Structure 1
């Protein structure tokens, strides 16, 4: 049965998100990007009432490996801790989604999002298991995370890997493009202590796995077989937009 979520109404972050979407123009946002943003906003606002709560699907290594709750590998990315968490993630995704979806095509981009979402979650679980073993601390296996920013970090890595070498601005500092995502990882951890360092790191590693290993070629082959349209070759993605705060929230469970 569906969980009885409280209707949050138009909180500040939701109103800001709707305002920005209207300013961009809904007709100027590709369909998969628009559907992803609206879906997560409606889920947060309680208008969509699924048969789970946030605590039911926040991801941790223990809940997946010992609890065998594999739905968390995908559903955890769809939930957000608060309205500003939702806002910053969706605005960052809006800019990346508009660029990448137009380049990849909507069907290919949809499958890429699914692949990167699952790969980020699997990597998060692996980091949790590894952290518990290396540091002998159950925190790494039990800390529970929600949010879409791990996927956004993966998209950043894919975008950066396909660009020509250059410079970009991160937190007011010009850095080589290849270091930008790593700098954001550290900066967000310092500015937002509650953010999930492990979740963001998982996104970066998932992006690198897609962009720099044979897994990317295998993924592209699978996407081509499903959609009949090969993803574009590297090298033609436009430069990254200005830096925004992408935050996955974590909490012990």
Structure 2
């Protein structure tokens, strides 16, 4: 599961060996308002794979947030399609929406008033009200803290595909929904690829061994979170793994 602009190098690296399909991140499509509903999005992917998998077999690779979706696709495909390979590429743990300080009563009133004033001017007010209604107290406390202390005004450039306001809605929705998703353990083995630069990031890379058997874990040198998906070493290693599955089939 990769963004379409990153898909070409991956497809070119594998096209001589097998058909390759890339699932474009839905936040770049008109379906972005459905939010990051992992189970629903993965169900569509799983249905497509089940209908198109040659000889009832497939290999899955999930990069970044696509790793979360790939995990759920694996779960939903079990018993429907034989999964020869699962690769997880540089997937970070979700960062929960949690405030870092406790607002005083005065600060909370100020934040609520500022939030209401911002919503009254937003072209996306209905979207924001729906998102805020899904938040618990800790998540709303995060939004109020950001309103007062983020050091920048919340954007008001509307629902356009490249707007900062739309990007903020997508980011908050993803963090909220991802926190609610349960990674029930599966028995399908997987291979993990990590960018060496990501090991130095503040975010936490997901420990997939908590969720599934990990057969290999490879650190890709001179790669970061964005470049790893098209990095020659990662692509070469991926081809080798897939070649082994063909020998074993």
Q: TM-score interval w.r.t. the shorter chain?
A: under 0.3
Greater radius of gyration (CA): 2
Ranked by relative contact order (alpha carbons within 8 Å, sequence separation 6 or more), the top structure is: 1
Which TM-score applies when normalising by structure 1?
0.22
Which TM-score applies when normalising by structure 2?
0.23
- Counting helix residues as a fraction of each chain, which structure ranks higher? 1
- Counting strand residues as a fraction of each chain, which structure ranks higher? 2
